[in-house]
Structure 1
Amino acid sequence: MPLHFPPAPAPALRSVLTALGSPTAVREARTPALRAAQQPATPELPLPVHVLDRLTPEGVSATRLAGWRFLIRCGDHAVAAAETVLTADGWAFSHFFEGPYVASTERALRQAETAAQAYQPRLLSMPSLYMLTLWLRSDTSGDGATGHPAPADVLVPLAPAPPGIASHRPHRVADLLPLLTHRLRTGRLMRSPA
Structure 2
Amino acid sequence: MPLHVPPAPAPALRSVLAALGSPTAVREARTPSLRNAQGPVSPELPLPVHVLDRITPLDVPPRTRLAGWRFLIRSGDRAVAAGDTMLTPDGWAFSHFFEGPYVAATERALRQAETIPRHYQPRLLSVPELYMLTLWLHGDTGADGGEGTLQPSDLLVPLAPAPPGIAAHLPHRAADLLPVLTHRLAPVPLLGSPA
- Structure-1-length-normalised TM-score: 0.94
In structure 1, the residue matched to 2:178 is 177
In structure 1, the residue matched to 2:193 is none
Per the alignment, in what secondary structure is the counterpart of residue 16 of structure 1?
Answer: helix
Gaps of 5+ in 2: 190-195
Structure 1 residue 147: deviation in Å?
1.2
For 1:99 and 1:83, locate their aligned partners in 2 and report how far apart those are by CA, in whole Å: 14
- Higher Cα Rg, which structure: 2
Give the AA of the match of 2:5: F
Structure 1 residue 60: deviation in Å?
2.5
In structure 1, the residue matched to 2:27 is 27
Structure 1 residue 2: deviation in Å?
2.1
Per the alignment, in what secondary structure is the counterpart of residue 60 of structure 1?
Answer: coil
CA RMSD of aligned residues (A): 1.1
In structure 2, the residue matched to 1:86 is 87
In structure 1, the residue matched to 2:192 is none
Per the alignment, in what secondary structure is the counterpart of residue 53 of structure 1?
Answer: strand
In structure 2, the residue matched to 1:17 is 17
User: Does 1:148 pair with 2:149?
Assistant: yes
Gaps of 5+ in 1: 189-194
For 1:187 and 1:97, locate their aligned partners in 2 and report how far apart those are by CA, in whole Å: 35
In structure 1, the residue matched to 2:136 is 135
In structure 1, the residue matched to 2:78 is 77
8 Å contact kept, 2:134–2:159: yes
Alignment of 1:20-59 (within 5 A): 20-58=20-58
**Overall identity of the aligned pairs, in %:** 76
Structure 1 residue 186: deviation in Å?
4.0
8 Å contact kept, 1:84–1:92: yes
Structure 1 residue 187: deviation in Å?
4.2
Displaced runs of 4 or more, over 4 A: none
